[in-house]
Amino acid sequence: MLVSALRAVLPPGVAVGAADPTAPETGLWPEESAAMARAIPTRRREFAAGRRAARAAMQALDLPAAAISPGPDRAPVWPTGTVGSISHGGSACLALVARQGAITGLGIDLEPAEALPRDMIETVCTSTERDAITVHDLLGRMIFCAKEAVYKAQYPLSRQTLEFHDLETSIDLAEGQFEACFTRACPPFQAGARIPGHIVIAEGIILTVVILPAQ
């Protein structure tokens, strides 16, 4: 159901792959395994599931299988000519992949469909967002999830780390959409630049997706 709901909001040319992050660790390429040699077993299983999901998405696009090792910043290093994003949470792991060209960035995030802890609200939400979260118990978590997806989509282009308040979101619950606005310049994104995204809630999970088209 989660994958079907995700596919419903994806445009042509963006493929999704899924894997179980609680399953035994399998499918790592040698360089990926070496990069995770010191990781704890749970993290290795999640990492392996992410790579299996990513290669499943690549296969759906008839792209050759390839290693997706973490770079020095721990972000996935995608094969030349591709863009992608990976997220895992609980019993789900999803990856998005597209050919680079018409699409320049992808972001996906999975979070539990639970209220954001009160001690995180001020860190995550701007004052405007805090005023809005009273209308829905899950809105704080949706804002967190939306900002994570935007961060993943923009990072390969800007190579800049964002703070939560560097983005301000507005969420349309009825349409399952959100828009994030940069509150400061983050080249190539200017202050005031807006990025749209989708929100899906299924199987106890909040899922956000951002797709950046070529400018």
| Cβ-count burial 201-212 (b if 16+ within 10 Å, e if not) | beeebbbbbbbb
Beta strand 167-172 pairing with 14-19: unpaired
Asked whether 209 and 98 are in contact (CB, 8 A), the reply is no
CA dist 68 → 8, 97, 125 (Å): 26, 12, 32
25 in a known ligand binding site: no
Handedness of CA 21, 24, 30, 31 (dihedral sign): positive
pLDDT band at 175 (very low <50, low <70, confident <90, very high): very high
In this structure, what DSSP letter does residue 174 have?
T
Tokens of 178: 């959100």
Count other C-beta atoms under 10 Å from residue 170's C-beta.
Answer: 15
Count other C-beta atoms under 10 Å from residue 121's C-beta.
Answer: 16
pTM: 0.94
Report the top-level CATH class of 108-213.
alpha beta
pLDDT at 168 over 90: yes
Condensed to tens digits (0 to 9), the pLDDT of residues 120-162 reads 999 999 999 999 887 788 999 999 999 999 999 999 999 999 9
**What does the domain layout of the chain look like in residue ranges?**
2-102, 108-213
pLDDT band at 1 (very low <50, low <70, confident <90, very high): confident
159 in a known ligand binding site: no
Residue 198, exposed/middle/buried by CB under 10 A (0-12, 13-18, 19+)? buried
63 in a known ligand binding site: no
Per CATH, 2-102 and 108-213 having the same topology is answered yes
What percent of the chain has a predicted confidence (pLDDT) above 90? 82
Picking from 153, 146, 163, 148, the residue whose alpha carbon sits closest to that of residue 188 is 153
Picking from 206, 165, 208, the residue whose alpha carbon sits closest to that of residue 183 is 165
Rounded to an integer, what distance in angstroms lies between the CA atom of residue 76 and that of residue 203?
A: 27
162 in a known ligand binding site: yes
pLDDT band at 27 (very low <50, low <70, confident <90, very high): confident
Handedness of CA 58, 59, 60, 63 (dihedral sign): positive
Rounded to an integer, what distance in angstroms lies between the CA atom of residue 50 and that of residue 26?
A: 11
173 in a known ligand binding site: no
69 in a known ligand binding site: no
Rounded to an integer, what distance in angstroms lies between the CA atom of residue 70 and that of residue 28?
A: 12
- CATH for the 2-102 domain, from 3.40.1390.20, 3.40.50.720, 3.40.50.170, 3.90.470.20: 3.90.470.20
51 in a known ligand binding site: yes
